[in-house]
Amino acid sequence: MEILTQEKVQLTNTAPSGAVANMFISPLATLGSLRDRPQWLIALLIVATYSVLVNFYVIQRVGLERLMTAALQSAAAIDPQTALQNALGHQTRILFFQGLSTFVGVFVTAFVVARVLWLLLIVAGKDLVFKKVFAVVAFASLFTNVIRESMLALTTTMIRDLDRLDLRNPLATNLAFYLHPSGAIATRILMSVDVLTIANLFLLAFGLAKVCDRLSPRVAAAVVVVPWLVWVGASLLMPSFS
């Protein structure tokens, strides 16, 4: 009887739903288990669905007009008032495409990140199945994005004066939230120094070191951090916002 119980617990832990739950209880052990049981679909489905639900809640709570006004502030070439009126006249379409882009974007982003990391590992001479890298990216995204979206929902729920909410940087997880830099470049640099982003980088590096044979933590960290630094540098060349 005891043996059957232990086998049942083991099967539960190896099931996709068990891995998802364990990611929030023991994330490092869960990432290590992906070496033998790489799975990604359920993790990304949860992230995508939860992100869409939180986005819809934030839109309902904050209001589409306030969100559009904040988004149009940086678009100098567009007449904000005209664009706002057009947007409010097509709310249903906007909400549909917002939800669709958010849902699909989770999968596309995870795939691109996993492909970049996988290619860097191939260049480094590591023969690794892409599915394992994709699984690591999916579960790291599950952990950090669920926390981030939950914080966003909680923030918009708890704050009384929604006009005080900085819609471009609403969470107190990065340096820009506290230092309030005046320049766009400084803002982006400080926004990149984010607790959840650093946690995601750590989980990616740890997970890759676990699923890839003879991959040292130092090399795994370099594979993760270098493309992130390139992305941060490239973002500084994008059109500024104020």
168-198 confidence digits (pLDDT tens)? 888 889 998 888 888 888 888 899 999 999 9
Has residue 241 been placed in a domain?
no
Identify whether 186 is part of a domain.
yes
Q: Which tens digit of pLDDT belongs to each residue from 198-235?
A: 999 999 999 999 999 889 999 999 999 999 999 999 98
Residue 133, exposed/middle/buried by CB under 10 A (0-12, 13-18, 19+)? buried
SS3 55: helix
d(C-alpha 115, C-alpha 138), whole Å: 12
Structure confidence by residue, pLDDT tens digits, 96-110: 888 999 999 999 999
In total, how many domains does the chain have?
A: 1
Domain that residue 205 falls in: 2-235
Is residue 242 one of the residues assigned to a domain? no
DSSP lists the bridge partners of residue 207 as none
Largest CA distance in the chain: 72
Tally of CB atoms within 10 A around 199: 17
- Tell me, yes or no, whether 208 lies in a domain: yes
Q: Please check whether residue 240 lies inside any domain of the structure.
A: no
The token duo for 84 is 């706002």
CA distance 118 to 96: 33
Q: With H, G, I as helix, E, B as strand and everything else as coil, classify residue 180.
A: coil
pTM to 2 decimal places: 0.84
